[in-house]
Amino acid sequence: MAKKALGPAMLELVAAVEEALDRLGEKGAVPLLVGCSGGADSLALVAATAVVAQRREVLARALVIDHGLQDDSDAVARKAATRAERLGLPTDIVAVTVVPDGTGPEASARTARHAALAEVADALGAIVLLGHTLDDQAETVLLGLARGSGARSLSGMAPARDVFVRPFLGVRREVTEAACAELDTKFWRDPHNDDLGYARVRVRKKVMPMLEAQLGPGIAEALARTAVMLRDDTQVLDDLAAKAIPDGVLTDRELSVAELPKEQALRRRILRRWLLAHGAAEPAYTQVKAVDSLITDWHGQKWIEVSGLRVGRRGGRLAVMTD
């Protein structure tokens, strides 16, 4: 495949992978592991990564995760692996057990998938490339808006976080499908992607087309651009919060109210990090706000329940309570 002239869609995708690896600096020279579902996005990423890996002389392979959520999931996984290997990367299949954790089937499956990818990446000393596109990013931002989420959620998916890298966040989904056509590669269409019982599918099938029809083209690009701007702003606030209260202090079971910043945006970021440090599972905005009220509206209330924690105030200090 590498000896054949690349079409315009593949050229765009290869450039996106090259740019993503360049942004990582030295980390971009480690082995590459591509998460492959067999869909157009992930197969196009496999093909683009195969080209880049050959150019850069780095090791690369693909990994197909079999979630076991459909009767024919093993057959789908085998077909995805076969197609990925034809596109130039050796491919393995890993079966996982999706354990419901109260976050919904999509989120539970994602948790199991990411854990498996991270485990294999750790064994290989690799980074994981994921095929999320600009369209996925736009849908994520729109879902966050509908939930009334803050800047952290509206920042969408990060281009790079931990071992995971998303080279295609600036690429439209239609480009990955065009790349598969250029490569004469069939791809799997997940039936869940047509199930309007999922909020993301409703956004994709109903909401986004309506917005484009009523407000004009470019909605997806605008939403993705919003995510980039909010991510930059959020990073600045997170850095300021970290300077105000170092991470080491957050392991203490008590926080001095007097030492917390007066600025609400910084103070609530610190409170969120403090709660996470003591085992709270992604505290919601309302929970962080309630803990903050122990500072801003203290009138002797006993405690606040936060994800299995009890947080109270003892004089001039907030405390994770054990009794």
Binding site per annotation, positions = 37-42
Specify whether the CB–CB gap between 215 and 280 falls below 8 A. no
Closest CA to 47 of 20, 94, 73, 12: 12
Other CB atoms closer than 10 Å to residue 149's CB: what's the count?
Answer: 15
The number of C-alpha atoms within 13 Å of 95 and in the hemisphere containing its C-beta is: 9
CA 287 to chain centre: 23
Residue ranges for the known binding site for ATP are: 37-42
Pairing state between β 164-165 and 160-161: antiparallel
CA 75 to chain centre: 27
Say if residues 286 and 268 touch (Cβ distance below 8 Å).
no
Nearest to 138 by CA among 165, 164, 156: 156
Of 134, 96, 135, which Cα lies nearest the Cα of 118? 96
Instruction: Quote the CA–CA distance of 34 and 145 in Å, as a whole number.
Output: 30
> What is 279-303 written as a DSSP string?
T-SS--HHHHHHHHHHHHS-SS--E
Token pair in block for residue 88: 């130039």
Query: Which H or E element spans position 255?
Result: strand 254-256
- Please state whether beta strands 254-256 and 317-320 pair in parallel, antiparallel, or not at all (unpaired): antiparallel
